Structure 1
Amino acid sequence: MSKEPVFNKVVNSTIRPASHMAVLSRREIEQLRDVSGTGLHKLFRKCALAVLSSGSQVDNCEELMSMYPDFDIQVRERHQGIVLEVVNAPANAFVDDQLIEGIRYHLFSILRDILYLRDISSNHKQISPNAQISHEIFYRLRHAGAFHPGKKPNTVVCWGGHAIPVEEYDYTKEIGYHLGLRGIDICTGCGAGAMKGPMKGAAIAHAKQRHIKERHIGLTEPGIIAAEAPNAIVNELIVMPDIEKRLEAFIRLGHVLIVFPGGVGTMEELLFVLGVLSHPKNQEIKLPIFLTGPESSSSYFDAVIRFIEMTLGSTTLNLVRKVIGDPVLVAKLVSDALRQVTRERRQRDESFHYNWSLHIEKEFQEPFTPDHESMAKLQLSRELPTQQLAANLRRALSGIVSGNVKEQGIEAIRKYGPFQIKGEPELMNAMDELLTSFAQQGRMKVKGDYVPCYEIVKSNPTAETEQQQSSKRETTLLT
């Protein structure tokens, strides 16, 4: 008859995840570390010790805890995912200092179910609304299987128009091809044009390199999916609830951005990321941005750069790099940028799979419903902080996208006429010039002549203020 195992010997160890629960949100980690009555640490410690004591004849929880009073388990975040650090754990759960595989599986199953049983809404009571949105985006991406925590930064987000000429489309394919030869994964808005081209080129290159785990991630949202149906190359389709969460998902999930020629939707995306990165808290965050297209699109990017400089200032231009007509150079620069991002994430012990460090203000997260009233009320003035102006410009362009392709926006324009976009004259001149160039280049609509869904109104804030003060004086006199 075999002797009963001795369970009072202990070991310290670092345990890597089983196939599930490799990725946790920062709020979940905080909950598991919280030793207060509302935290999960006490419950997780008790359940974990029970699992690690598998085979023991002890059937009393209090007795088991007294046998290992110094046992502890902590969740630690690493750039490739989480690990569990155990101190004074029962030695019989290990063989040659390695945790028995079945016990490891059970340990992470307990972690999964403890977190699931905790109501998500209670998880967010102690965090700010904008942090809550970032966590919700994390949960949606995790649920969709978008995180591959063991993989180094390798996802390039490609933005660009769905209505682009053949030469530009072929260029996006060539870029994708040279990225694919280097094993790089592609994430786009999942539609046609510049969203399909990089995936198509990368798919051919991945096949040549016998790269069997290629990722072609498509991020969409209900309001745009009808106008930009997912292309057939997308092998990971993720639907976010609205445009703001879709945009945040792009920059939380992606490691490098490539911007191809496009229309107002592409400009909206670019303003979003430039506004976020312009915040002082994001100065140390690496999120490289490349503007690229064939030689024929050089004037397009010149107009985009003029608009950015006119509205957000020359300092913001340091966040982007323009490369024209050289797909191989772009691919090499992207590869170098991915290595830089990897080094930075390692230095900060930041996760590879989700860019938690990005600080995103509520103006970029709150859903904007474009209608005639909300569009007319947008403040568009260079007196605003850079990130605030970028947020409002992004909203203005989001309204134009809605009026161009979204059912609700098209119906509103049909009933009440074009949206009015008001702002200081210099700013409105810059916007008018940009949008006119888009229309002339056929970037507003796939087929037919474009009828603008907007009107540019040049207002004079000083004159308006004087008029309001005069009206107020007259009202006071009459009273």
Structure 2
Amino acid sequence: MNRLAVYCGSATPADPVYIDSARAVGHALATRGIGVVYGGGRLGLMGAVANGALAAGGEVIGVIPTALVGAEVAHKGLTELHVVDTMHQRKQAFTDLSDGFVTIPGGTGTMDELWEAMSWAQLGYHAKPVGLLNTAGYYDHLIAFVAKMGEVGFLRPVHRDILIVADTLDVLLDRMAAYQPTVPIIRMSSADL
């Protein structure tokens, strides 16, 4: 994995564990020689990931829609900053520029990115690992929900391992490196669907 897209929030929660963890994620990725592809912002967890990676001498590529550049939230000190027109183009760039996806805490935008990465893996639009870092138990309920989707039958057994979960970045990255893509929907017979 040469580059990973990091999905996270642009907010700064009151509990410093989230900012500290985000900064540590950026730093750890750079230390491992893994470039960061992210939303291009300077605020919140986004800015912390970028600054952590940059402080460790890492490559940081931001992808930001024009509307957010105009709101002056773009990080100006990145290795590269790609400005796109739409959120759809942004998410496509994340997929094109990265070898996998790591989701750390965030809100609705982060969830949109995570779900799309999982959905595209399930469909076969990419075969890249999709990781979820469960910082301070933030995603406990989401992990339970994904399990529920499988129990009910909305997530096929063959696709239940698409989401790779860990409580520490080292474990998550090791699991992502060992990821074996599943059989995507586009290669399944109608009897399997």
Give the alignment's Cα RMSD to 1 decimal.
Answer: 3.1
Q: 2:172 aligns with which of 296, 312, 330?
A: 330
Unaligned 5+ runs, structure 1: 1-152, 207-213, 345-358, 360-385, 387-479
CA distance in 1, matches of 2:139, 2:96: 29
- TM-score if structure 1 supplies the norm length? 0.33
**What secondary structure is seen at the aligned counterpart in 1 of 2:40?**
coil
Contact 1:172 1:260 in 2 (8 A): yes
Contact 2:65 2:87 in 1 (8 A): yes
- Per the alignment, do residues 269 and 308 of structure 1 end up closer, same or farther by CA in structure 2, a change over 3 Å counting? farther
Alignment of 1:197-276 (within 5 A): 197-206=48-57, 214-226=58-70, 229-276=73-120
- TM-score if structure 2 supplies the norm length? 0.76
- Per the alignment, do residues 185 and 303 of structure 1 end up closer, same or farther by CA in structure 2, a change over 3 Å counting? same
**What secondary structure is seen at the aligned counterpart in 2 of 1:245?**
helix
- Per the alignment, do residues 267 and 158 of structure 1 end up closer, same or farther by CA in structure 2, a change over 3 Å counting? same
Structure 1 letter corresponding to 2:119: G
Larger Rg over CA atoms: 1
Contact 2:18 2:105 in 1 (8 A): yes
Structure 2 letter corresponding to 1:244: H
Structure 2 letter corresponding to 1:161: G
| Deviation (angstroms), 1:230 | 1.5
Contact 1:164 1:261 in 2 (8 A): no
Contact 1:220 1:238 in 2 (8 A): yes
The alignment-based identity, stated in percent, is: 22
- Per the alignment, do residues 300 and 189 of structure 1 end up closer, same or farther by CA in structure 2, a change over 3 Å counting? farther
**What secondary structure is seen at the aligned counterpart in 2 of 1:318?**
coil
**What secondary structure is seen at the aligned counterpart in 1 of 2:85?**
coil
Q: 2:134 aligns with which of 293, 297, 305?
A: 293
| Deviation (angstroms), 1:164 | 4.4
Give the structure 2 partner of residue 174 of structure 1.
24
Q: CA-to-partner distance for each residue in 1:262-285, whole Å, 9 max, x for gaps?
A: 111111112222222222xx28x5
| Deviation (angstroms), 1:177 | 1.6
Contact 1:159 1:194 in 2 (8 A): no
Contact 1:175 1:328 in 2 (8 A): no
| Deviation (angstroms), 1:163 | 1.8
| Deviation (angstroms), 1:319 | 0.9
CA distance in 2, matches of 1:323, 1:274: 16
Q: CA-to-partner distance for each residue in 1:318-339, whole Å, 9 max, x for gaps?
A: 2111111x233234445x35xx
Q: CA-to-partner distance for each residue in 1:211-236, whole Å, 9 max, x for gaps?
A: xxx42100011244455711244221
Structure 2 letter corresponding to 1:317: R
Alignment of 1:334-349 (within 5 A): 334=176, 336=177
Contact 1:292 1:322 in 2 (8 A): yes
| Deviation (angstroms), 1:205 | 2.6
CA distance in 1, matches of 2:79, 2:54: 11
Number of aligned residues: 178
